[in-house]
């Protein structure tokens, strides 16, 4: 795995996105500087990894849909940046790769909702989160850093690239699994932490309805 590839990619994408958006960032210090860690956040746009990864001072290993790895140049670039493929359905190979990297004391980023989610279909909107990520963390006794990102879904409308809209990111305190709780109880603790971060961001930044997550179709104006 190439730390150089990740750091170059992170610098390039971070510089590009900061050119077109303002980024309000909080809580990076909650991410452990070493050891196995899972970064687990909400997922509202395909731009999310380029926002939540680069601010962290250590390499972050992301998953990406396997279709991207079949695209010439793109696939090679992703592998160079330590990204590994995952299928749309439950993927045992991706899970094993995540485990392998965590056992190497790496930081692995996972979007537990398994796809883009907004409104009532999302964890932040009250939907039940798929099981898997927290069970993995519980099994391996790996801390999980909750992360909420808002505003990145605006980039689906090309006109918004020239408005320098704000993207808000807040990392919560790392949650360590306990031997006295089940995987389901640990997941419940994570879900509560995510919703508390979300509500605090709405309050602290006085966010409006338009600032909150919307699906790509609505952002593109194809859904009322």
pLDDT in tens, 170-216: 999 999 999 899 999 999 999 999 999 999 999 999 999 999 999 88
Q: Strand locations in the chain, DSSP E?
A: 22-26, 37-41, 60-65, 84-86, 107-110, 144-150, 166-171
For residue 208, what are the contacts with CB-CB under 8 A and spacing of at least 6?
none
Give pLDDT tens digits for 74-111.
889 898 889 988 876 656 788 899 999 999 999 999 99
pTM beyond cutoff 0.85:
yes
């Amino acid at each position: 795995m190439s730390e150089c590839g990740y750091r170059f990619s992170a610098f390039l994408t971070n510089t590009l996105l900061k050119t077109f958006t303002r980024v309000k960032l909080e809580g990076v210090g909650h991410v452990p500087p070493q050891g196995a860690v899972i970064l687990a956040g909400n997922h509202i746009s395909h731009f999310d990894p380029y926002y939540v990864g680069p601010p962290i001072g250590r390499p972050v290993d992301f998953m990406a849909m396997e279709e991207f790895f079949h695209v010439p140049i793109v696939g090679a670039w992703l592998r160079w940046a330590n990204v590994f493929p995952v299928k749309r359905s439950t993927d045992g190979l991706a899970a094993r790769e995540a485990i392998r990297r965590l056992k190497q004391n790496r930081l692995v980023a996972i979007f537990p909702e398994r796809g883009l989610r907004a409104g009532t279909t999302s964890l932040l909107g009250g939907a039940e989160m798929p099981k898997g990520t927290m069970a993995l963390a519980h099994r391996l006794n790996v801390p999980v850093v909750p992360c909420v990102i808002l505003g990145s879904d605006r980039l689906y409308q090309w006109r918004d690239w020239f408005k320098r809209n704000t993207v808000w990111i807040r990392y919560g305190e790392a949650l360590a699994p306990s031997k006295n709780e089940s995987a389901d109880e640990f997941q419940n603790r994570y879900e509560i932490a995510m919703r508390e971060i979300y509500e605090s961001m709405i309050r602290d930044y006085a966010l409006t309805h338009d600032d909150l997550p919307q699906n790509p179709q609505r952002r593109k104006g194809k859904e009322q």
